[in-house]
Amino acid sequence: MARTDEFKSRILAQKTIWAAGAYDALSAKLIEEAGFDALLTSGFGISASYLGQPDAELYTMSENLAVTSNVVSAVDIPVIADIDTGYGNAINAMRTVREFDRSGVAAVILEDQVAPKRCPICVSGVEVIPLDEGISKIEAAVAARQDPNMLIIARTDVIDEAQAIERGKAYVKAGADIIQPISKCFSSIEGLRAMRQGCGVPLSLQVLGWLEKDLSPKEIEEVAGIATFPLVPLMTVATALRENLKVLAEKHSARDLPRPVTNHNDFIDFIGFTQVEELQLKYLRAS
């Protein structure tokens, strides 16, 4: 799949793209190897991996961009970038969109929280910007885009269903290609259907909470152009590392670890040592 043009046409035709959340280049390569259509550079995951801190927009735009650029370089599947609030007002968002566009991402997700944002799945409530300001940020993001195939995904963090649909319609009118509600907003497939129909574009869904527990893949595909498991990779790694490291610290032996570890030779093949060695033999000629 091409990075942008085929990706865009497939989503707008609502042939659902299934993705998983990467937090660095290695996790991105594993997501690609697993066979996902695309991946998301998760702000939650990047904050946890890069800073060891919560998803509260503590990292800067340039730190997020550095991780995302490495991810784009490491894989061939399309990359969806989480750009939070755009790191400021509409003018800041324009620069953010230009920089991520230049990195080669296939889509960006811009949310309407007050900056700095807070992760809505981790706190009781979040504050959103006024609707007029949200519209202006989407218009500014669209104006800043250089690649016409790069999708602008407008995320609204309101939790009232009617308000979410109202904002979704307004953001589509402002130029957004896809609308993303937060998982807390709706509680049934009927609500998601109403948003899909009301906004007139496919939805981007983060498969979390009730969406993960209650909806079938078929129901998700009914409304979503993009369906992402943003946290499963990060939480899988956290559990596996925690269990193995605990035993390793206690026993000082790797012989009886609770989780299997990847074979060394398999990993060096996966990470690309064979290709690097071929290049070394070709270009680093001995004197």
Q: In 3D, which of 5, 2, 23 has the Cα closest to residue 237?
A: 23
From the number of C-beta atoms within 10 Å of its C-beta (0-12, 13-18, 19+), residue 200 rates as exposed
In the 3-class helix/strand/coil scheme, how is 2-50 assigned residue by residue? CCCHHHHHHHHCCCCEEEEEECCHHHHHHHHHHCCCEEEECHHHHHHHH
What residues are annotated to the active site?
Answer: 119
Residues 20, 228: Cα–Cα separation, whole Å: 5
Residues 3, 79: Cα–Cα separation, whole Å: 8
Q: In 3D, which of 52, 92, 89, 50 has the Cα closest to residue 69?
A: 50
Residues 40, 286: Cα–Cα separation, whole Å: 43
Spell out where the chain has E strands. 17-22, 38-41, 79-82, 107-111, 151-156, 178-181, 203-206, 224-229
Q: In 3D, which of 209, 206, 210, 176 has the Cα closest to residue 18?
A: 206
